[in-house]
Chain A
Amino acid sequence: MNFPFLSVLTVAPLVGAVVVALLPRTRPALAKQVALGWSVAVLALSVAMWIAYQAGGDRFQFRESYPWIPNWGVRFTFAADGIALVMLMLIAVLMPLVILASWHDAERGKRNVPVYFALLLALQSTMFGVFAAADVFLFYVFFEVMLVPMYFLIGSYGGGKRQYAAVKFFLYSLVGGLFMLAAVIGLWVLGGHTFDWQALVDANFSTGAERWLFLGFFAAFAIKAPFFPFHTWLPDAGGAAPAGAAAILVGVLDKVGTFGILRYCLPLFPEASRYFAPLALTLAVIGIIYAALLAVGQNDLKRLVSYTSIAHFGFIGVGIFAFTTQAGTGAVLYMVNHGLATGLLFLVVGMFVARRNSALVSDFGGAGKLLPLLAGVLLFAGLASLALPGTAPFVSEFLVLLGSFTVNKTVAVIATSGIILAAGYVLWMIQRTTQGTVNPALASNEGMRHDMSLREKVVVAPLIALIVLLGFYPKPVTDVINPAVKATMADVGASDPAPAAGTTEAAR
């Protein structure tokens, strides 16, 4: 089947964004419906792509290549391996739900409603592009352009310190991006004036050059992911962004960082990756513990969820730099599951915030008595987030720890303690918001009298279903991921240690 899935997926949301932006400002309902319909159509196309993908086939599928800037050897080259495919699916699944969840978000504060949904669709387009690109220049272009819609989503439609958060987000990402630009230029000059990913993987660099180039890319991705100590923008951005945009930001957009490490740092600079792996592992482990501790102390729900994400990115980092197929598969699976679980958590928190007009934990208390259903969903999202067995994140976290334990026991042991802290911040947050005696301010709050509406149920139901499904039966996803991760690890030149008996069964 030769349908150009990737380019169509990249362009379609952009067309949708233009259409929605051109709708009259006076008809917000129409804009929402068009945006929702469009994103559902994109989802349908993505599902078709998933079906067309051959799990056991070539490493890169759906390859397309068109000339762009011949003078620099830049081409519009799209191709997806298993890792990119699952990320593309994740975006496609999340976007309609986020649009539905943000139904009334833009109306507060007399902002332009069509533009909000147009920005979401534009963001989707750039994210598709960044995951589908197989040309380093093209990847860089999407990596940077992606900032612009997100910047306006946070800055124009956020709450609290939205201006500060938006600028901080933009500057941090731009700084990382410019380090990467220097590395991209170096890669281009030293790699023989080509941007083609495959050609660059085959190119040889001197050890010194390779290490510097690795650092350039790694800086960008470590800021994006974010890893400790480059994480400080995320709580601000996550806290200020509207809940839907925050779900996209943390659920998908940040995954560009870890995806970039897997797709670019490891295969392009294998020697440097091995050289810097201890550093990366250290940062990841510090991130797990440090962010979890900070999450325990947060009083702002959205900031709290942002910190939990930083801890989870630490797990993903451990999985990537352990250099075993098992841990790598776990890391990629974690990227998907974290997108679902944290996305759900952000959306549910957003529903609480919309009712209370406050994201402070101390403004809640006993909310479960007033909103039993919503509180139940929050509990589920929280438990998924702390990787309770039976939910999808458990599988991935277990794989990461198992895969890293075989090669680096110290890291695995320290990371495991992060699970305990995770239980701490999630359960304590749920206790303080939904349990105990009812906060008197809540009882008199008009919004707190309405439990979940049908729209909100439709938003959370697919996510809950996916989390449970992948918790019990992750095989469809791991089958796609596994070959890609194996190939990536082969690029790095890491060989798996002899597997201990029974570990592969645990993966199933």
Chain B
Amino acid sequence: MNDLKLPAIDYAALAPMLILFGVACLGVLVEAAVPRARRGLVQVPLGLLGLVAALVFVIAEAGTRKRTAGEAIAIDGPALFLQGAIIVLGVVALLLIAERSLEPGGPFVAQPARPVGSEADRSQAAGEGGATEAYPLVMFALAGMLLFVAANDLLTMFVALEVFSLPLYLLCALARRRRLLSQEAALKYFLLGAYASAFFLFGIALIYGYAGAITFSRIHQAVTAGTGSGVLLFAGLALLAIGLLFKAAAAPFHVWTPDVYQGAPTPITSLMAACTKTAAFGALLRVLYVGFPGATWDFRPIIGVIAILTMLVGAVLAVTQTDMKRLLAYSSIANAGYLLVGVLAMTPEGVSSTLFYLVAYGFTVIAAFAVVTLVRDADGEATHLSRWAGLGRRSPLFAGVFTFLLLAFAGIPLTSGFTSKFAVFGAAFGGGQVWLVVAGVVTSMLLAFPYLRVVVMMWLSEPGESTPSVSVPGAFTSAALVIGVLVTLLLGVLPGPLLDLTTRAGDFVR
């Protein structure tokens, strides 16, 4: 009988993930052990501390290039950068999630299982403390994302995909207001997400059939050698891409996005828009750059068409939206298209520009959703666009901040939106993908219109009867907002340091 050899495990390299999984488990214990009223007081510092500790380990590992845990996990520049980005964005999103002062009980419902409209449900809407289970769920999701971007074989990647997706499905159902919308969002996200996972899994099976392996280095060898059946390769890669592009919210796999973004509690929406997108593109980068660069000529036209379709769908449908959260959802779809443009450069600049874009967009979008949580009336957030009319007169500060964020989305210079667009377009141009740059520029023009419409609404219209007031944000939301806006400005004016970082982090280990 052969001896089983245990793979060598580099615990320091895995520490960020281990810490977050540990914190998540601790959070579950806190739910069991601490009285309901005091759980929030424990969970928030626990989560923040865990994230900070994980970040410390990520930074300590800077410069590492190795595979560990039997080649299942790769710790290299992109992985560490993405893990750091997810953690930092997660901290900012967690601040929004922890906000309790905007409405009694916070943004989450106490007992999501109670039937909507029942007596018990009405009483909990009135101000019962929100579910603190959200915190461990968020930590599980973030830990899964860290694993997702570091996964070096397809099975680990699939496990990570499920680990971070399942908590998000649950979190979507926890909105305190408009419960039916929230539950619908969760169900939709779950069903479509399950399909996407199934596609992904099927893709893994086909790729295994092609390459006889699931690690990216072996797949790369097989693709370069070009020995196996082309059908298996292309069908497998297509199915894998569907699974990943679903999470990235690229058209035509985007249909869940507006509904889920609208129905989910706004802090969770910001978490999905920033962190999930980062994780999904991180994994997509690794799959395409490490596993399948040999098939670039085969997949680039198809994913290029998807990129253009994504930008077009996002831009055109954003024009017709009347709800702020849906508008931001379509804008997020369009941004997935711009990110794909960067990915498809298939050059080192392509990686670094995509990484830069992910960070820049993440901060801006969290800040934008932070403003959305503030504009509210007695029934919760007032997300209908018409309600934002004249907001500039009511509350010039927040309208000014939101205008700045919209200008960033529109790609006006001196905001991070411009520098990041410049980075991805420049990379794509350098990679010979001029058609994608032209499509990106044309859709940017379309996309400017919905943003501008909101600016017009806020500043140039007179406030009406139904214009809600802007709540004074609590310390947590203020902090998230200030961080988001400052980073948006800073990356627009002085992108140098982060560009340096992404350039140095752009090298995958195979």
A positions within 8 Å CB-CB of B? 68-72, 140-141, 144-145, 147-148, 152, 155-156, 162-163, 166-167, 170-171, 174-175, 178-179, 181-182, 185-186, 188-189
Contact = CB atoms under 8 A, between A and B. Distances in A.
A163 B456 contact: yes
Contact of A179 (B429, B441, B500): B441
Interface majority SS (helix, strand, loop, mixed), chain B: helix
Nearest to A174: B448
B438 A182 contact: yes
B334 to A, nearest CB: 14
Interface string B406-436: 0100111110001101100110011000100
Contacts of B499: 69, 71-72
A189 B426 contact: yes
Interface string B468-501: 0000000000000000000000000011100110
B441 A178 contact: yes
B456 A171 contact: no
5 contacts: A68-B496, A145-B413, A162-B460, A182-B425, A185-B422
Interface in B443-478: 444-445, 448-449, 452-453, 456, 459-461
B242 interface: no
Contacts of B496: 68-71
Contacts of A178: 411, 441-442, 444-445
Contacts of B461: 163
A145 B412 contact: yes
Interface string B316-337: 0000000000000000000000
A263 B389 CA distance: 42
Nearest to A176: B445
B503 interface: yes
Given A71-B503, A182-B441, A189 B414 contact: no
B109 interface: no
B268 interface: no
B429 A185 contact: yes
A174 B422 CA distance: 15
A188 B429 CA distance: 10
Given A148-B412, A186-B434, A174 B445 contact: yes
A140 B413 contact: yes
B88 to A, nearest CB: 21
- Give the 8 A-B residue pairs with the shortest CB-CB distance, closest first: A141-B413, A71-B499, A182-B441, A189-B429, A155-B460, A163-B460, A178-B441, A175-B445
B505 interface: no
Contact of B456 (A69, A70, A166, A175): A166
Nearest to A143: B413
A122 to B, nearest CB: 12
A147 B411 CA distance: 13
A189 B430 contact: yes
Given A144-B412, A152-B459, A185-B426, A167 B444 contact: no
Nearest to B438: A182
Given A166-B460, A171-B448, A185 B495 contact: no
Contacts of B419: 69
A69 B503 CA distance: 13
Contacts of A68: 496
A264 B410 CA distance: 25
A182 B499 CA distance: 20
A482 B230 CA distance: 66
A111 to B, nearest CB: 10
Contacts of B74: none
Contacts of B422: 72, 181, 185
Given A69-B496, A163-B460, A181 B425 contact: yes
Interface string B182-197: 0000000000000000
B426 A188 contact: yes
A69 B495 contact: yes
Contacts of A70: 496
A141 B495 CA distance: 14
B437 interface: yes
Contact of A148 (B407, B418, B421, B430): B407
A128 to B, nearest CB: 16
Interface string B345-366: 0000000000000000000000
Contacts of B414: 141, 145
Interface in B280-326: none
Nearest to B404: A148
